[in-house]
Copies of this chain bind each other. A is one copy, B any other.
Amino acid sequence: MWEVTLDDTQALALGAGVLGTGGGGNTYIGRIWLERELRLSGKGCRIVDADELADDALAVGIGSMGAPTVGVEKLDAREEYLPIVRALGQHVGKPIDALVIGEIGGANSLIPLIAGLQLGLPVVDGDGMGRAFPELQMDNFSITGISTSPFGLGDSHGNTVIFQRVDSPFRAEQYGRALTIEMGGSAALAMPTMTGRQMKASLIRGTLSLTRRLGHALLDARRRSADPAEVVARLANGRVLFRGKITDVRRETVRGFARGHLKIAGFGESGELMEIVFQNEHLIAWHNGDVVCTVPDLVSILNLDDGEPIGTEMLRYGLRVAVIGMPAPRELKTPAALRLVGPAAFGYDVPFVPMPGHLL
């Protein structure tokens, strides 16, 4: 067991930005929320290893659903998780014992910690995605067949909805997305509800620790004036794919998603070009027309100067950036997983050529 304290929030926000691959919600806002909650509670957030939870304990995944572009504009108190987790516990007739990070990327790394502090519950070190993904059926809990329902969705007015039974993770995505849009474009999500045994079998372990390590390494690189992109790439078993200046960003919010397309021009005179498409998260990177990295491998964009990760909602013309490619965790590279999170699942007729190695 360890604790997240005010000493970790800056590092966690940075690391969450890296693993967010452009999505998962703005980490600056998430960090402010987490710091506020740590100050209010006067103690740290307990982080436990998956094996510390009993097999018959009850765990629930926590995250925010919706377009990152919207999350930035909704600066509410993030207290929606209390009624949802309580309602879920009431619904299944058993209190929830621990929270699980739904996706370790962007603000969604930090929100479960906030909920843990509010509810007095520990948070498990690991998550369902090992990165961020835009849709509900794209986590390893769904991939390995853990039932999506019951799950809870709530808005910032305390309205709480329990999806008692849904017949597939895709249905959860479809119905949950429609309600999220109605809730103003972002909503609080508690999903899935699972036993300790299920969680241990499907969790992508240790990703919160990795988030913290990445963040502290970035901070250390800043202090040492080292190259932050190289530091991050090395720690995550990846490589720097490109350096250049953003010359074009197209972005629209479609059916609750931030979709877009990005061009980055190399610094030299040689006309080097990187293009990236995103749906909340970066999906595919092309270098001079050749695919160099695709989902489920991670594509992250850092500010070239200070290594600050840049979310898709913050991309803008003129930013000088480094693009990093990192291999996905091994759980996302099984045939079953690739059907749900490979390039074809996002509508791209591009083969998945994995980067060497694994995220952890």
Residues of A within 8 A of B (CB): 83, 87, 90-91, 152, 157-167, 171, 174-175, 178-179, 181-183
**Residue from A159, A163, A181 whose CB has the most chain B CB atoms within 10 Å:** A159
Enumerate chain B residues within 8 angstroms of A162, measured Cβ to Cβ: 91, 161-164
Closest 7 CB pairs of A and B: A178-B182, A162-B162, A160-B164, A160-B165, A87-B164, A159-B166, A178-B178
Select from chain B the residue with minimum beta-carbon distance to A171. Answer: B159
Whether A158 contacts B164 in the complex (CB less than 8 A), given A175-B179, A178-B181, comes out as: no
CB-based nearest B residue for A163: B161
Main secondary structure of the interface of A (DSSP, over half): mixed
A175 and B182 within 8 A (CB): yes
Q: How long is the Cα–Cα vector from A42 to B282 in the complex, in angstroms?
A: 60
- Most B CB atoms within 10 A — which of A91, A157, A164, A165? A164
Which of B159, B166, B175, B179 meets A167, CB within 8 Å? B159
In this complex, which of A152, A160, A181, A183 has the most chain B Cβ atoms within 10 angstroms of its Cβ?
Answer: A160
Give Cα distance in the complex from A182 to B167, angstroms. 14
Contact B182 A174 (CB under 8 A): yes
Q: A91-B91, A179-B179 given as contacts; is B165 within 8 A of A83 (CB)?
A: yes
Contacts of A166 in B (CB 8 A): 159
Q: Which residues of B contact A160 (CB under 8 A)?
A: 163-165
Complex CA gap A181/B171 in Å reads 14
User: Can you pick out 5 interface pairs between chain A and chain B where the beta carbons lie within 8 Å of each other?
Assistant: A90-B91, A91-B91, A159-B163, A162-B163, A175-B183
Does B167 contact A157, Cβ atoms closer than 8 Å?
Answer: yes
Q: In whole angstroms, what is the CA distance A182 to B91 when docked?
A: 24
Residues of chain B within 8 A (CB-CB) of A181 are: 178
Contacts of A175 in B (CB 8 A): 159, 161, 179, 182-183
A162 to B88, CA, bound (A): 11
A163 to B182 Cα, complex, angstroms: 14
Nearest chain B CB to A150's CB is how many angstroms away?
Answer: 9
Residues of B within 8 A of A167 (CB): 157-159
Question: Which of A152, A175, A181: most chain B Cβ within 10 A?
Answer: A175
Kindly list chain B residues whose C-beta atoms are within 8 Å of the C-beta of A178. 178-179, 181-182
| Closest residue on chain B to residue A157 by CB atoms | B167
CA A87 to CA B91, docked complex, whole Å: 9
The docked-state distance in angstroms from the alpha carbon of A91 to that of B167 is 19
Q: Complex formed: what's the CA distance from A158 to B166 in Å?
A: 8
User: A192 → chain B, closest Cβ, in Å?
Assistant: 15
What residues on B are CB-neighbors of A171 within 8 Å?
157, 159
Report the separation of the CA atoms of residues A164 and B84 in the bound assembly, to the nearest whole angstrom: 9
Nearest CB of chain B from residue A101's CB, rounded to whole Å = 24
Bound CA–CA A279/B174 (angstroms):
27
Known A-B contacts A178-B181, A179-B175, A182-B175; the reply to A87 vs B165 at CB < 8 A is: yes
